[in-house]
Each structure stands twice: as C-alpha cells, then as structure tokens.
Structure 1
Amino acid sequence: MTHFARRRAFRIVKADADEMSEHYAKTLSPAKVEPLTRGGRILVEDRHFSLGPFSIWAGKCHSGMKVAFSQPSDVFVLYLPLSNAMEIDIGRSRLTSDPGTALIANMSQFDKLTLHENRGHIGVAFERSAMVSQLSEMLDAPVLHNIELSAALETASVAGSRLATLGHLLWDCFDVESDNRVSAIAADHLFRAAMAMILEAVPHNYSERLKRPASPAMPRNLKRAIEYMVANISQPMTVAEIAREAGTSVRALQTAFQQFKDTTPLSFLRQMRLEGVRRTLADETNELSIAQAARAWGFTHMGRFSAVYHDAFGQSPSETARLRNKRQTAAT
C-alpha cells in the first residue's frame, strides 16, 4: 500500500540563493536560484508533500526570484495561482500566470521560472510515467510518443474552475494534521482525476484521439491475439505466430490492431511488456533486479531495452527503481 511521505515544511527568511537552490534540488529539480535584484535576499515560505508519483506544494515568494533549471525533472506541473505573477520560459515561448491564469507544462522543457514579488501558488506535479499511464487508459491504447502539453488555462473558464477546485481540494487533503488526512488511496484517486481533467481540458497532441467516439466491441480474433500475447508475454513471438494462434491472417490481424488499437501488433506487444516492467520495478514488494524483470517480460537485449524504456517513460529503468526505493525510505 502507498503511504504518505513525511511532510516537508520549508520556511526561509532572508535566505541566500544557495539555500533555495538546495530546496529545489530536494523537492523538484536541480536549479540555480537568484533574487530578482542584484545583491537582494530571498524571502520564501513553502510546504511540500509527496505521494508515489505525485507531489503537491504551496507557498509564497515574498521577495521575488529567478530559477534557472540545469536538469529539469520529467514531470508535468500544474500551477494554480494564489497571488501575483509568474512566468515560465520554454525555448522562445513564455507562459504567464497571474491570479486568473493557471499553467500546465512539462518541467523537462523549462528553461527559467520568474516569480515576482508576493507570488503565491499551489503546485501539483505528476511524473511523466503516471501521465502516460493515465492517457493510455483513457485511449485504451499504447502511448508511443511524447505528450506535448503546455498551456495557460483561465481559472474563470468551466474547465479551469473545475481544475482549480480539485487542486485546492487536494491541498486541503494534505495540509492538515495527520489524523485528519484522507487515506493514501483516496488521495491517489484525486491525483489521477486531476490528470484526466488536464488531458481532457488542455490541448495536446493526443486530444483529437480522445475526442473520437468509443470503438465498437473488439472482434474475437483481436481478443484472442491479445490473450495469447498476455499468456506468453515472456516468450519471443512473430506476427505470423500471433495471427495463427488467433485464427486469422496476418493482414487481418494488422488491420484489426490498426483499427481498434491504433498501432501494430508488435508495437502493442512491446508497450505491454514495457508497462509490465515498469509496474514490476515500481512495486515496493519487487525483489527482481532490472535485468531479471526485463527478461520476465520478454526483453533479451538489455541495451536496446534500456533505450526503448527511456523513450516510453522518460526515465531509465534504474531511475524507476530508485524512485521506488525513495518512496520506501520515506514511508519508514
């Protein structure tokens, strides 16, 4: 079972830039922090919580500061404004958040954050692997490309208002005495509801596919093919073998996968294997090494496996395992 991590309260009064840089490295991503004015001091209050692949924080930057990222984390971040303004620089683009505008983007693309005097917000972070998993579930198909999602969302809009309400509810679930917190299971469901709302409300490269009407029931040969893949997930197999076991032709099988799963049979098989390895490595009860887990899910070439795993989830297998170990340590 997932447990709440210990609360990390962070309060700085007239801090130097090194203290804030250390805070960012511990909670979000390595970064260089500087005051807005040369030689100025930084005054910040912050509280930060984490739960599995999610984290949430709230705070206020009284003095204003600039944050330049050196190795930004591959997480999607939602900023819900409480006061004043903030800008995110992404390449040549700039997203601006004021008290009426929320921001959502992938932190791995951030170049710089600029927080103006008395900027306050609630921040919610979702690991890329969690967002990919949520989108895959909504599509009922593998997510084989990066999710391109970065936008400003007016909090007065219907979608923005709902998302802001959910974000504040999430914060209220954490920022209370431990006896009054909801269970980790309930909080996990709220985080996943927030991801679903973001994916439905904010335009991205999979938006059109999400709007498509639900597919009719899968044909029997496609179901048999998937059942055969699952039953023999660790064994090498070809499209011809899968088609034979499903009682259909290779061409008909490929057409069925394209029509109902929007991919090819072998791409679907690879995604199932990758997600299986990720679940195994993230499982707190897992005792298999990375190589053993990969072989158990049908990968035999470790170098190629690591590359496709990183492409699929934005992190290496060892990073997934390290995050699991961090959660175990935090829960003890």
Structure 2
Amino acid sequence: MKVTLSSGPDAYALYLPSSGIMAIDTGRKQLVSEPSIGLVGDMSRFDRLVLHEDRSHIGIAFEKSAMIRELSELLDAPAAGDIDFADTVDLATANGSRITALANLIWNCLDVSDEHQPSSTFVEHLLQAMMIALLETVPNNYSTRLAKPTSPAIPKRLKRAIEYMHANISLPISIADIAEAAGTSVRALQTAFQQFKGTTPLNYLRTIRLEGVRKTLLDPANSVSVAEVARSWGFSHMGRFAALYQQSYGEMPSNAAKLRRGGK
C-alpha cells in the first residue's frame, strides 16, 4: 500500500518494526525500515509511505516543540534550528535494544483498556525518556554538543532564576514566574535548585528575602519601620514574616531594630 502525504505534521516520528518492511520517501531519499532497522525522521518532510504486506510497526510521534524543549534542557541552552537525525537506528545494538524495550513499554501502557491505563504523568515521563534516548543515542546535528561533559558550574537557567528573584524581590513571585523567566520548566528548575543549592526555589527566595531584611534592620543608616522593611523585601503578611524571621535568627525582627538603635 502506498500513501501520499500532502504535508506531514510538525513532528518527529520513530518507527520500530516487528515484521515486514516499510519505506518512507522524503523527496531527497527513501528510508527503509525492516527487522532490526528502525527509522527516525521529520514528518514534515515525508512525501510518501510504502507499506509492504504483513508489515507490523510501532510508531511514536513527538511534537517538534517538545523535542526542541527537551534538547534545550540537555544542552542547558536554547536550541537553534531543527534536529536532523541520522534516519536509521540499528536495533541490534545495545542502544537500539534499549529504545526497542522502552517503545514496547510505552505501547503496552497505552494498548490496554481505560481502567488499566497508567496515569498521564507516568506516560509523559516515559515519552520524555524516549526523547532523551533518541537525542543522546541517535546521531544528529547536535550530537557533538550533547557529548560534551556537563560543566560543574551553576547552570545558566539557575543563574537566570536567581537574577530574576533579586530583580523582583519586592513583588509577589510564584515558582511558575521564576521558571518562565529562567526559560525552563518548573520541574527542571526544582531539580537544578535541589542539585546546586540543596533547597527549593521558593525556600531560596525566602532565604534571600530574610537575609535582606536582617541586613537592612541592622544597618545604622536605616530609619524605616520593621513593617516597611519587610514589605520592601517582599513580605506582605507581617505575622508570617515575624515567625519566619524568628525561626531563622532566633529572635523577633523588632529586637534587631532595637539593637540597631542601641548601636547609634
């Protein structure tokens, strides 16, 4: 059977054969999938599918935006341009076997009745794992950059998040706001803070706010009230602020103000 495509979707596709042959015409060349050879391609470039008799394949498609987002996470930098995969995957290799096993797991999770289907979060993580596997093991135009060792320095997205916190310290800030400003996902931001700072983004924000308040309260040049200082550092609820301050420094914020006045 031959299927002509007028315009393919804006997605990347993985095809893994269990039997038979399938070919894809891209205009430039023909990609052929047969037992032990999988295909990875840009579906927007597909012109025609040729499906041979008794063919059986697992096909998984990934939106380009999702694949590019995953690539950017791995690079810790924006990805410029589309991904050009090497088209074929040797499923007889160790990497190919892992890709096949993961594809079968994804299929087995989806090819069940509704009552036995796993959560959407579980499936999403499996698909994310497959995107990472393809990016890291199938040769592509970003392979050289992906192969470079990860720098032990603080990631750029974490630096951007911290800079955003300091620049907007007096404003109400949510973790979604921080992630958007840093150009990453909430989950990736939480992982970065845990790995490099040993805490959560919001706990880190709270800490720098408390440190700012204490430094200001102890500054002999400061003449404003405790409440005004707290508000200037992003605390709107005075009772909660006082409790957090006492928990962190073992005294009420008013004591710091008294100490400052006594030092004049």
The interval holding the TM-score normalised by the smaller chain is: 0.5 to 0.7
Kept in 2, the 8 Å contact 1:90–1:111? The answer is yes
Please tell me the residue identity of whatever aligns with 1:66: K
Deviation, structure 1 residue 212 = 0.4
Q: In the alignment, does 2:12 pair up with 1:76?
A: yes
- Corresponding position of 2:46: 110
Within the candidate set 203, 206, 227, 2:139 is matched to 203
1:67 aligned partner: 3
Aligned mates of 2:29, 2:90 — CA distance in 1: 18
Equivalent of 1:122 in 46, 53, 58: 58
Q: Please, what TM-score do these two structures have when normalized by structure 1?
A: 0.48
**Residue of structure 1 in register with 2:94 after alignment:** 158
Report the identity percentage.
48
CA distance in 2, matches of 1:145, 1:158: 29
Cα contact 1:95–1:103 (8 A) shared by 2: yes
For residues 203 and 175 of structure 1, do their structure 2 counterparts lie closer, same or farther at Cα, with a shift above 3 Å needed? same
Is contact 1:106-1:150 (8 Å) kept?
no
Distance in 2 of aligned mates of 1:106 and 1:219: 30
CA positional deviation for 1:94: 1.5
Q: Verify: 1:93 aligned to 2:33, yes or no.
A: no
Highest CA radius of gyration, 1 or 2? Answer: 2
Q: Name structure 2 gaps, 5 residues minimum.
A: 169-179, 187-264
- SS of residue matched to 1:134: helix
Give the structure with the larger helix fraction: 2
Structure 2 Cα separation of the partners of residues 97 and 82 of structure 1: 10
Alpha-carbon distance between aligned partners in 1 of 2:5 and 2:80, rounded to the nearest angstrom = 27
Aligned structure 1 segments of 4 or more residues deviating by more than 3 angstroms = 228-232, 272-276
- Corresponding residue SS for 1:87: strand
Q: Say which of 149, 153, 156 aligns to 2:85.
A: 149
Q: Which has the higher strand share?
A: 1
Unaligned runs of 5+ in 1: 1-64, 233-271, 280-332
Instruction: Find the residue that maps to 2:40 and give its secondary structure.
Output: strand
Choose the corresponding residue for 1:134, options 70, 76, 94: 70
- Once the two structures are superposed, the pairs formed by residues 161-240 of structure 1 within 5 Å of their partners are 161-218=97-154, 223=159, 227-228=163-164
Relative to the length of structure 2, the TM-score reads 0.60
Give the Cα separation in 2 of the matches to 1:230 and 1:102.
Answer: 49
Structure 2 distance, partners of 1:275, 1:223, is 11
Query: After superposition, what is the alpha-carbon deviation per residue over 1:199-237, rounded to whole angstroms, capped at 9, x for unaligned?
Result: 0111111100011011131499x93697249957xxxxx
CA deviation map 1:26-71 (0-9, x unaligned) = xxxxxxxxxxxxxxxxxxxxxxxxxxxxxxxxxxxxxxx1111112
Q: Distance in 1 between matches of 2:160 and 2:99?
A: 40
Whether the 8 Å contact between 2:7 and 2:46 is mirrored in structure 1 is no
